[in-house]
Amino acid sequence: MNQLDFRGRHAVVTGGATGLGLGIAQRLIASGGSVSLWDRDEAAVQAAARQLGPAHARAVTVDVTQAEAVQAALAQTLAHAPRVDALVNSAGITGPNVRLWDYPVDAWRAVMDVNVNGVFLCCRALSAHMREHGYGRIVNIASVAGKDGNPNASAYSASKAAVIGLTKSLGKELADTGIRVNCVTPAAVKTAIFEQMTPEHIAFMLSKIPMGRFGTVEEVAAMIGWLCSEDCSFSTGAVFDLSGGRSTY
């Protein structure tokens, strides 16, 4: 594992209890930093923080779809960290794999609420905090589905396209500051989120990857670790591909 420099820095990782979020937190800690894990699953996030160790990680239970809850989570984070240097928006859900005309309205709204509104609310709160300190790194996890549009995943695809647009807009708004805002667009990475998908949809995603395999949590965490570092100084509002060659634009 190449060494990244995150020494003395503190990051908020949403969806940090499991999957990509937990893997990203592990990489940032290995790079010398500390993390606050934000997740709505209290038992899981507490267990993840214990796994990472109290010297490196704190658990914060929060529903990122609620503005007041996000502000309260930030206040709780700042009670044990002098500042937040990086935000990684990893919390997300897939929604059902059905045709658009059969898509349940409540499920559509739930996907948009977590994947878009949650990213907006966290970016809103943390960018204001980072502006006070004149420095920050924000990394949003989008998806190759937001570039290409996956069939039978209209809400997920639309939500991740929105994350890409939000990232570009916020990156330009903060370009004259010390804050950099970027996103990554992974193809399928085998985590617990696969449990939300049908076997047919998983097979479809694999068939589209020229490398012929799924990505790994460690590969995603490596790129995000760099995007959270000071070395990422001249990239902002950018989209970084992690799709095994599926989508390179």
SS (H, E, C) the chain: CCCCCCCCCEEEEECCCCHHHHHHHHHHHHCCCEEEEEECCHHHHHHHHHHHCCCCEEEEECCCCCHHHHHHHHHHHHCCCCCCCEEEECCCCCCCCCCHHHCCHHHHHHHHHHHHHHHHHHHHHHHHHHHHHCCEEEEEECCCHHHHCCCCCHHHHHHHHHHHHHHHHHHHHCCCCCEEEEEEEECCECCHHHHHCCHHHHHHHHHCCCCCCCECHHHHHHHHHHHCCCCCCCCCCEEEEECCCCCCC
* CATH class of the region 10-242: alpha beta
pLDDT of residue 2: 85
135 carries an active-site annotation = no
pLDDT of residue 117: 98
pLDDT of residue 38: 98
pLDDT of residue 197: 76
Active-site residue, from 103, 135, 156, 249: 156
Domain ranges for the chain, please list them.
10-242
* Cα Rg, the chain, nearest whole Å: 17
Q: Consecutive sets of 10 residues in the chain, 249 residues long: mean pLDDT of each?
A: 92 96 98 98 98 97 98 97 97 95 98 98 98 98 96 97 98 98 91 77 86 92 98 98 85
This prediction's pTM: 0.94
pLDDT of residue 103: 98
